[in-house]
Structure 1
C-alpha cells in the first residue's frame, strides 16, 4: 500500500527535496484536520514530533507549564513521570520538549524501530490525554505553589518552572531579550514571555491552565512530523487508529497575528541586578532592534543571515568596528531571530554605559548609511554565503539528529502557511541567487529598507543596579509574610496540610502495574558488540598521523595537536588566551577582517582550543593546543595555507585590537560562568583534588576568567608582558617534535591529502620534545562564588581512585539511576531545581551538580545520602533492565563523521582500547542490582572528602557560610 491509497488522509503535496536527498509529503488528516509533514529518506535515525500553536495572552508561563506537565502521566501511561521513565529505559537519540514564543514542540528520535514506536505512543498520549485533569499536584509541582512547612515557617513559592524562570531572569541577556520583544510586539503574542515571568507565574490559576490545554491541544491545531527510514504507511495508519480518528475537526483560534506598524523607535530603559559589591561602570546593555517583515520570504530569510555576518558578526565588520572605535561597549553582538512570523534584527553593546545611548544610536545610523553608500565588502558577502552553504551541505549538527533540525526549521514557514513546510529547506538555489546579487546593490537596498527607512523598532537599555535582586527578594519575603499574616488559622493549617500532601504525593512511587504500562525494550535488543575505533597510525616526516577511515562526503577533517604538557601554569594560561586571538588579529599577509573572509570562503572553519585530558595508564594529564580545520577536499590546500599563515606569521602588534578581543572574551566568560554555573562549579571543585581538574579550571573555568578579567582591567600596564608571553608560548608549541595529526576521511581523500599535509609540516621548526607535567600543589578550597542570580549551582566532587577503587561500566548505569531517580526526585521534583546530574570518569573523578536550584544546603544534604541510597538500592528485574537499556542511549548514540574521528583520536591519545570498552559493555549488559549496591562504599569514601563548590545567590551563600572555607564574588 502507498500513501495515496490511504483514505483517512488527503495528500496536499508530494515533492522531491533534492537538496537533502529526500522525498517530502504534506498531508491533512481528513477527520481531525491534523497537519502532517513527512521527510522520507534512508536515514536510520528516525525523528517524530507533534507541535501546537500556543500563543500566550499573558506572562504566567502557561504554555511552558503545560509543556512540563503533560509529560507527568497520561491515560494510557499513568505513571507520574513517563518522560523520566523513557530516559531511564530507552535508546532514544533525542527526547525533550520545547516551549517557543508561539509554539510548543514535543520531539523524539531513535534508531531502533520498536523504541521509536514506543516513544511516539507515549508522547502522543501525553499531549492528548494528560493526567493534569486528574491531579492538581502535577500543576503545583511543575508550575508553582505556596509552600508552608509548618505554621511557624515562612511562606514560600516553589515549582520547577517558577525556579527555572527565576534562573532565566537572573540573566541580563534574558531580561534584555524579553524587553526587546515587549517593545517590538506590544499587540501580539511575541510581546508576552511564553516561558513565564516569575513575577507573574503565581497569577496563573489551575482552571486557566486547564482551559489553555483544552483550547490548543487538539489535532486541528497540531503539526505532526515524521522523518527518516520507516514504513510511512504503517505509521500513518497507526496514528489514525490510535489517536486522530477520535477527534472531529473544530475551529481553534490560534492565529499568530502580525504586529501592526507603530512607525516609531521606542525608547525603553529597564534595570537589572548585579552583585551588591560590583561597580556599575561598564555594565549597561544597549540594544537597537528592528522588525524585518515576513519570514515567508525565503530570500529575505537567508539574506539577513548574510547581513548579520557582514555588518556585525564578522571580525572587523563595519558596525562592530565603529562602535568599538567609539568606545561604546566592550562586546558587540547581533542576533537575527528568524524563527517567528516577523523576524527581528538586533545590535547589542554589552558592558557599556547608559550615557552612551545617543551616541550608540548615532554611530549605528551613520555606519549603516556609509555602508549603503560605499557598498558592502564583496568578499565578506561571499564568505557568509559560502559558510552557510558549507554547513548546510555538511549537515553535521553535533549531538542532534539532522532530522530534528530539519523538522524544527520547517516550522519557520509551516506554522504560518500550511502549504509551505519545505520553503526554507530547499535553499541551494537561494544561495546561488544571493551570490548572484553580490555587487548589484541588493544587500545595500535591504539595509536601507529595513534598518534605515523603516521606523518599527526599539532601543532598549538595561541599567545595572547593585544588589537589586537582594532588594527584590526582601520585598518578596515581605509580600509573602503579609499574605501569611492575612490568612486565618484554618487557612494556615490547610496550607500546611497541602504542603505535606504534595510532598507525600511526590514521594509515593508509581504502582508497579502503572510502571509496567510504559513500553520497554529487552536486553536482547541491545547489540552485544562495542563500536570499534578506527585508528591507523602512519608516519609522515617523523610526525605520527592517526588516520580514521570514515566517509565524509568530500570533506577533509584534520586536527593538528601540539603537546604542551610541560608548560607552566602561567604559560598554559597565556596559551589559553592565545586561542582567543589566533585568526582574529592580523598576519603578515592579511588584515584580520580579510583573513576571516578567506577562512569562510575556503573552509568550513578553523578552530583553536587548549585542552587537558587524562591518560588512562598513569592518570597523568595530557595538555595540548589543538588546531582543527574542516574543508571541502578541493579547498584543503588553500585552507592549510591560511592556517599555517596564522600559526607562523601572526602579527600581535595591534594592541587596540587585542584589547577589544580580551574585553570581549572577559564579557563572554562572565556570562558563560553564570549561565552554565553547574559546569564551572564542578570544574572548580575538581581543581582542589586532581591535576586534570586544576588544568581544566585554569584553561576554561573560573581561574581562566579571573586571568582574562585581570588583564582587561589592567590592560595598559600588562599588555607588553602579555604579548611577549603569548609569542613565547606559541613559538614553543608549534614544533614538529610536539605534533600529532588526526585525519578523518575516506582512503581516496587521505591518499591525496597526505602530501599536502606534509608540505606544510615541513615548514614547522623541529623544536623541543614535550616533557612531563610539572608538579602542582592541590588544595581544598571549598568556595562559594556570589553573583546576582536568584538561584544556585551546587557541586560536590571527589575521586574514587584515591580510595583504591577502580572504574567499572556499572558507574554508567549508576549515572542513569542517580540522575533520573534519586537526584531527579529529591533535587528536582521535591526541591524544585530545574536540573541535576551525576558524572563518573574513568580517571576516578566524581561530580554531582544541580542547575537553577532554589536550595543550597538542602541539596548538599541530598548528595550526602547517596551512599545510603546506593546501599539500599532495590528494584525488580524489569526496572534493572530499564536502567541497563537507558545506559546505552549515550553509548550507542549515532555519530557524524567528524565526531567519529574525534572519538577514535581521543581513544588513541588516552590509551583506550577496544578490549576495554567491550569489557565495559559486557559488564553493563549483565549488571544486577547487587552489583549496584556494591558501589556504596565507593561513594561513602568519595563524599567524606567533602569537596564543595557553589555559584549563586549571595543572600543564601552568606546565610549558609559554614559550608565554605572561602566566599568571593564571581
Structure 2
C-alpha cells in the first residue's frame, strides 16, 4: 500500500513515517492541483474514520459558520434529498456521524467498521460540503438558521430556526456564558472574540447572500483538511476523493489565516451579566474569573504542561489555588480550565457562587499562592501524579463511545490547522511525557507560572454577575421590537412573511421523491451481522463471594470493580447514597489527607471512581438491584496497589471534618446545577419516568431532583444537621461495605489473575460485619406532572409511560421504532418544523417509554406532536427500503465498537440483570426481521405508554406559566 500511495500522480507526499506511539503508518500529503492538505494514520483499527474540515474564521457573531455546518447537510448535487444526514443516520452502520463548529474551524467526521458503508459516508459528506443545495433552495437557510414566522397577518411576529433555538439554549447556561465571555475577553480584536456558534441577538442580522458568500469563500479544497484513519486501502480512497471531487476544482488563494491577538499592554477588568429568575437571590451567585493567554498551540511541550499545571494548581482536590480561595469563602465551587484547541490557548481560574465585592481578594489570593509556589517550588508528587494521569489516559486511548481515530484526528487539528506540516505534533506524545517527567524539580513548571500567569499582561479579570429576570426582559424587548417592526410593514410585506412561513412549512412537509431517496447508498439486511455480541463471563467464587472475570486483551491494564449491593440500606439513609458517592475520595483517609490521596491514586493507577447503578431483572421487571461500585484501572503490576487504595477509601474515609464536608456539598450542588441546566432533557425524562417506574424513582433519589433538593437543604441547614450528616455517612458505609454485599468484577487477560483471590480475601476480612437493619428502601412512584422553571430561553418537554403494564410484551422491533421516531416523525415535527435543536425517545425492556425534546422553543405544541405519534405510526406509508434503513440504523446503535473496559461492563450488565444471550439473540432476530406491518402495529405501544399521561417539563418560566393548566405542580428548578 505504501508504494501505491507514493506512486499516486494526484498527490505529493510531504512526509511518511512510522508513528510508533500509535502503532500506525503516518502520511502527510498535499493534493497537487488544489493544495488540499491530507493526513493518513493507517493501522489495524477496523473502526475507520474520515473527516473533511475547513478553516472558517467568522467576521461577526451571526453564527454563519454554524448555520452553514447544519445547512450543507440538507441535500447536495448527487444526493438531492432534503436531509441526507438523517437518511444516513437512520440507514447506515456508522459508529460516528456528525458535524462540529469550533471558534476557527468546521469539521465533518464520519466513522464505520463496514468498508462499503464507510465509502458511502465519505461520498455523501464530500458531496455535501462541495455541492450543497443551499444555492438552489433558500428555505434551507431559513429552516436551519433563522426566519420570521407568522401564520396569519393578524398573528404576532416571531423568529424561529434550528440554530437560533440551539444557541438560545446555549446562552441559557451560566457556565457556558462564562466560558464564552472568557475567550471573548482575551481576544477582542480577532475571531476568538466573536461567537462562531451565533449569538441569538445577532443571528437575525445574517443575510442569505452573506451566508452563500461564506460558503463560496471557505468551502474549497484549497482551504480543506482531509483525514483518513484505520485499516483501509488508503490509495483507493485517495483516488476516489481526487477523481470525484478534488480534481474538479482549481487552486484558490483563500484568506483564512486565523490571525493573532496583539498582547495587552496591561491586564483588563470587565463586568458581564447572566440571567437568573426573578425570585432567585443575587447573593453568592457571581462568577469571578482570572484569565491569561498563553503562547500558541504549536508549543508541543507547553500544550501538555499547562494541563499538568491546571491539575496541580486548581483541578485536584486540595490544590493550592483552589483550596486558598475556598478557605477564604471566595466561591463555593472553584475550578480551572485550560483551552488548548485554539491557536492562542488560555488558562482560567473560576470561582463560582462568589460575591462581586470579593474580586480584589480573589485576584490577590491567586497571586499570593502562585508567588509562593514559584519561590518554594511545586509539590513534586503532585506534578508526578498529574503527568502520570494524563499519560495513562493517552496510552489507554479509551474515549468511550467515541472512535479513537476520531479523537486523534480532532487533536491533530490543534496543530495541523496552524501548520500544515505538523498534524502529528500532539498525537505523538510519549517523548513529551518523558520530557515533562525530567522537568520535575528543575524549575520548568515554576517558570511557566511566573511567565504566563503572574507576570503576563495579556490577562483579564472578569466578573460575571447575575441579573434577576434578564431573560424575561430580553424576551419582552424582542417581542416589542418584532411587533414594532411588524407595525411598520405594509400589508403586502406582512403577507409576504405569511406566504414565506407557509412556503417553508410546505417545503418541510414535502416528501422526498423515490428517485431522490434512492440516490442515497444503502446497505442490505444481508450486510448486517446476524449474531449479537456475546458476554465474556467466567464465574468464580471465594468463600461465597462471586468473582466475575472477563478474559479480554487489555494491553496490560486491569479493570477492577468492587460491586456492593445496596439491599441493606434503610429508607432513612438511602437518599444519602448520592452524597456518599460524592464524598468518597474527596475526604481524608487514615493514611492520607484528601490531596495526598488524589495524588497517590493518580501516581499508581489510571484513576479510581465511584458509580451507582440500577440493574432491572430481565425475567421479573418488579425486581432490581441497586449497587454502589468503586472502579479502578491500573497496569497489571499496580493492580494490588489499586486494591489497597480502594480499601483505604472504603474503610478509612474520615467524615468528621465538617468544614470539608460543606465544601464538597457546595461544589457538588454547583456542578449538579450546571449539568441540570445544560441537560434539561435528562432531568425531565428521568423525572417523568419516576412517576411510575420504581427503578427510575431510585435513580432520581440518587442523582436527580430529590438529590439536588437534599443538597440544598443540607447546605441551608448545615450547622444544625452536620452531626446527623456525619453519622449518616458512617452508618451508610457500615451498611454497604459488607462481605455479603460484595461482588468482584475483573476485566483483564488471564495472565494477570494470580494474586487476585488473595487480594479479595484480604479485603473481605476487613469489611464491616455489624448487624444490618434489613429495612431496605422501597420507592413509591406517584404521578406528579411537574414543570420546573428556569431562567433559560428554551424548554425540555417529556412524556412518559409504560406499555408492558398494558399487556404488551417487549420486542426487538421497538429498537427499529426508536430510529423511525427519532429520525423521522419526531425529527420532522419537533426539530424541522418546530425548531427544536433535538428530540429523543426510548422504549425499554421493562416497558418504560418516553419522548423528550431538547432546546425546544415550544411546549404545548410539542406535547400535541407526541399525542399524534401513535396515529402517525399506524398510518405511515413504508416501503421495504425505508424499513431496511430503520433496521440498519438500529443495528448501528446496537453494534457500537466496544473498548476492553466497555466489553467488561457489558458482560457485567448481562450477569447482574440475568439477561440471557438467548434472549439477546432473540431480540436481535426480531429487530432484523421487522416488517412494515409490524412497525405500524407498534403504534399501539406508543398509544399504551401515552395513556399514562406522565408529563414533565424543564424550561423558561414565562413559557411554562402560559401552559400552567397542563401541570399538577409548578416550581422553580433551583432555589
TM-score by length of 2: 0.99
- In the alignment, the residues of structure 1 paired with residue 184 and residue 674 of structure 2 have an alpha-carbon distance, to the nearest angstrom, of 23
- 2:951 alignment counterpart: 948
- 2:835 alignment counterpart: 832
Post-superposition shift, 1:770? 9.3
After superposition, where does 1:806-825 map in structure 2 within 5 Å? 806-825=809-828
Contact map agreement 1:33 1:248 (CA 8 A) in 2: no
Which of 347, 368, 373 does residue 371 from structure 1 map onto? 373
Contact map agreement 2:797 2:859 (CA 8 A) in 1: yes
- In the alignment, the residues of structure 2 paired with residue 176 and residue 775 of structure 1 have an alpha-carbon distance, to the nearest angstrom, of 41
- In the alignment, the residues of structure 2 paired with residue 825 and residue 170 of structure 1 have an alpha-carbon distance, to the nearest angstrom, of 25
**TM-aligned CA distance change 1:570 to 1:673, over 3 Å:** farther
Contact map agreement 1:599 1:639 (CA 8 A) in 2: yes
- 1:115 alignment counterpart: 117
- 1:277 alignment counterpart: 279
- In the alignment, the residues of structure 2 paired with residue 958 and residue 721 of structure 1 have an alpha-carbon distance, to the nearest angstrom, of 39
- In the alignment, the residues of structure 2 paired with residue 74 and residue 805 of structure 1 have an alpha-carbon distance, to the nearest angstrom, of 42
- In the alignment, the residues of structure 1 paired with residue 13 and residue 773 of structure 2 have an alpha-carbon distance, to the nearest angstrom, of 65
Post-superposition shift, 1:769? 7.5
- 1:742 alignment counterpart: 745
Contact map agreement 2:570 2:777 (CA 8 A) in 1: yes
- Asked if residue 760 in structure 1 is aligned to residue 766 in structure 2, the reply is no
State which drifts further: 748-757 or 787-796: 748-757
Post-superposition shift, 1:613? 2.4
Does the residue aligned with 1:693 lie in a helix, a strand or coil?
helix
- 1:878 alignment counterpart: 881
Post-superposition shift, 1:773? 5.3
- Asked if residue 805 in structure 1 is aligned to residue 818 in structure 2, the reply is no
- 2:235 alignment counterpart: 233
Contact map agreement 2:568 2:736 (CA 8 A) in 1: no
Contact map agreement 1:322 1:363 (CA 8 A) in 2: yes
Deviations, residues 679-738 of structure 1 (Å, cap 9, x unaligned) = 111111111101111111111111111111111122111111011001101111001101
Contact map agreement 1:565 1:621 (CA 8 A) in 2: no
- In the alignment, the residues of structure 1 paired with residue 464 and residue 624 of structure 2 have an alpha-carbon distance, to the nearest angstrom, of 43
Unaligned stretches of 5+ in structure 2? none
- In the alignment, the residues of structure 2 paired with residue 913 and residue 624 of structure 1 have an alpha-carbon distance, to the nearest angstrom, of 20
Would you say how many aligned residue pairs link Structure 1 and Structure 2?
A: 970
- In the alignment, the residues of structure 2 paired with residue 523 and residue 770 of structure 1 have an alpha-carbon distance, to the nearest angstrom, of 54
Deviations, residues 413-458 of structure 1 (Å, cap 9, x unaligned) = 0000011000111111111111111111110000000001111011
- Asked if residue 256 in structure 1 is aligned to residue 232 in structure 2, the reply is no
Post-superposition shift, 1:567? 2.5
After superposition, where does 1:416-565 map in structure 2 within 5 Å? 416-565=418-567
Deviations, residues 450-474 of structure 1 (Å, cap 9, x unaligned) = 0011110111111111111011101
- 1:852 alignment counterpart: 855
Post-superposition shift, 1:228? 0.3
- 1:901 alignment counterpart: 904
Deviations, residues 855-902 of structure 1 (Å, cap 9, x unaligned) = 000000000111101111221111111111111111111100000000
- In the alignment, the residues of structure 1 paired with residue 697 and residue 556 of structure 2 have an alpha-carbon distance, to the nearest angstrom, of 40
Deviations, residues 764-794 of structure 1 (Å, cap 9, x unaligned) = 2445689685444321100000010000000
Which of 355, 358, 364 does residue 356 from structure 1 map onto? 358
Post-superposition shift, 1:262? 1.7
Does the residue aligned with 2:573 lie in a helix, a strand or coil?
helix
Post-superposition shift, 1:15? 1.3
Post-superposition shift, 1:499? 0.4
Contact map agreement 1:738 1:769 (CA 8 A) in 2: no
- Asked if residue 403 in structure 1 is aligned to residue 405 in structure 2, the reply is yes
Post-superposition shift, 1:642? 1.1
Contact map agreement 1:61 1:195 (CA 8 A) in 2: yes
Which of 293, 315, 319 does residue 291 from structure 1 map onto? 293
- In the alignment, the residues of structure 2 paired with residue 152 and residue 655 of structure 1 have an alpha-carbon distance, to the nearest angstrom, of 62
- 1:699 alignment counterpart: 702
Post-superposition shift, 1:612? 2.1
State which drifts further: 784-793 or 871-880: 871-880
Contact map agreement 1:559 1:627 (CA 8 A) in 2: yes
- In the alignment, the residues of structure 1 paired with residue 676 and residue 173 of structure 2 have an alpha-carbon distance, to the nearest angstrom, of 11
Post-superposition shift, 1:109? 0.2
TM-score by length of 1: 0.99
Contact map agreement 1:575 1:730 (CA 8 A) in 2: no
- In the alignment, the residues of structure 1 paired with residue 772 and residue 666 of structure 2 have an alpha-carbon distance, to the nearest angstrom, of 34
- In the alignment, the residues of structure 2 paired with residue 476 and residue 644 of structure 1 have an alpha-carbon distance, to the nearest angstrom, of 58
- 1:658 alignment counterpart: 661
- Asked if residue 29 in structure 1 is aligned to residue 55 in structure 2, the reply is no
- 1:79 alignment counterpart: 81
Contact map agreement 2:568 2:735 (CA 8 A) in 1: no
- 1:669 alignment counterpart: 672
State which drifts further: 490-499 or 937-946: 937-946
Post-superposition shift, 1:610? 2.1
- In the alignment, the residues of structure 2 paired with residue 412 and residue 798 of structure 1 have an alpha-carbon distance, to the nearest angstrom, of 45
Does the residue aligned with 1:651 lie in a helix, a strand or coil?
coil
- In the alignment, the residues of structure 2 paired with residue 776 and residue 324 of structure 1 have an alpha-carbon distance, to the nearest angstrom, of 37
- Asked if residue 689 in structure 1 is aligned to residue 692 in structure 2, the reply is yes
State which drifts further: 208-217 or 921-930: 921-930
- 2:933 alignment counterpart: 930
State which drifts further: 776-785 or 384-393: 776-785
Post-superposition shift, 1:134? 0.3
Post-superposition shift, 1:294? 1.3
Contact map agreement 1:738 1:768 (CA 8 A) in 2: no
Deviations, residues 920-966 of structure 1 (Å, cap 9, x unaligned) = 11111111011111112222121121100000000010111000000
- 1:185 alignment counterpart: 187
- 1:325 alignment counterpart: 327
- Asked if residue 125 in structure 1 is aligned to residue 127 in structure 2, the reply is yes
Deviations, residues 813-845 of structure 1 (Å, cap 9, x unaligned) = 000000000000000000000000110111111
Contact map agreement 1:815 1:839 (CA 8 A) in 2: yes
- In the alignment, the residues of structure 2 paired with residue 950 and residue 73 of structure 1 have an alpha-carbon distance, to the nearest angstrom, of 33
Does the residue aligned with 2:471 lie in a helix, a strand or coil?
helix
**TM-aligned CA distance change 1:754 to 1:395, over 3 Å:** farther
- 1:172 alignment counterpart: 174
Contact map agreement 1:738 1:770 (CA 8 A) in 2: no
- Asked if residue 626 in structure 1 is aligned to residue 615 in structure 2, the reply is no
Deviations, residues 634-685 of structure 1 (Å, cap 9, x unaligned) = 1111111111011111111211111111000011111111111101111111
- In the alignment, the residues of structure 1 paired with residue 939 and residue 28 of structure 2 have an alpha-carbon distance, to the nearest angstrom, of 54
- In the alignment, the residues of structure 2 paired with residue 67 and residue 649 of structure 1 have an alpha-carbon distance, to the nearest angstrom, of 52
- In the alignment, the residues of structure 2 paired with residue 755 and residue 297 of structure 1 have an alpha-carbon distance, to the nearest angstrom, of 48
- In the alignment, the residues of structure 2 paired with residue 658 and residue 436 of structure 1 have an alpha-carbon distance, to the nearest angstrom, of 37
Deviations, residues 360-391 of structure 1 (Å, cap 9, x unaligned) = 11111111101111111100000000011111
Does the residue aligned with 2:753 lie in a helix, a strand or coil?
helix
Unaligned stretches of 5+ in structure 1? none
- In the alignment, the residues of structure 2 paired with residue 548 and residue 643 of structure 1 have an alpha-carbon distance, to the nearest angstrom, of 20
Deviations, residues 604-651 of structure 1 (Å, cap 9, x unaligned) = 111112222211222122111111111111111111111101111111
- In the alignment, the residues of structure 2 paired with residue 429 and residue 770 of structure 1 have an alpha-carbon distance, to the nearest angstrom, of 55
Contact map agreement 1:743 1:750 (CA 8 A) in 2: no
- In the alignment, the residues of structure 1 paired with residue 651 and residue 823 of structure 2 have an alpha-carbon distance, to the nearest angstrom, of 49
- In the alignment, the residues of structure 2 paired with residue 772 and residue 235 of structure 1 have an alpha-carbon distance, to the nearest angstrom, of 63
- In the alignment, the residues of structure 2 paired with residue 256 and residue 40 of structure 1 have an alpha-carbon distance, to the nearest angstrom, of 30
- In the alignment, the residues of structure 2 paired with residue 770 and residue 185 of structure 1 have an alpha-carbon distance, to the nearest angstrom, of 60
- In the alignment, the residues of structure 1 paired with residue 771 and residue 255 of structure 2 have an alpha-carbon distance, to the nearest angstrom, of 71
Does the residue aligned with 2:582 lie in a helix, a strand or coil?
coil
- In the alignment, the residues of structure 2 paired with residue 81 and residue 615 of structure 1 have an alpha-carbon distance, to the nearest angstrom, of 40
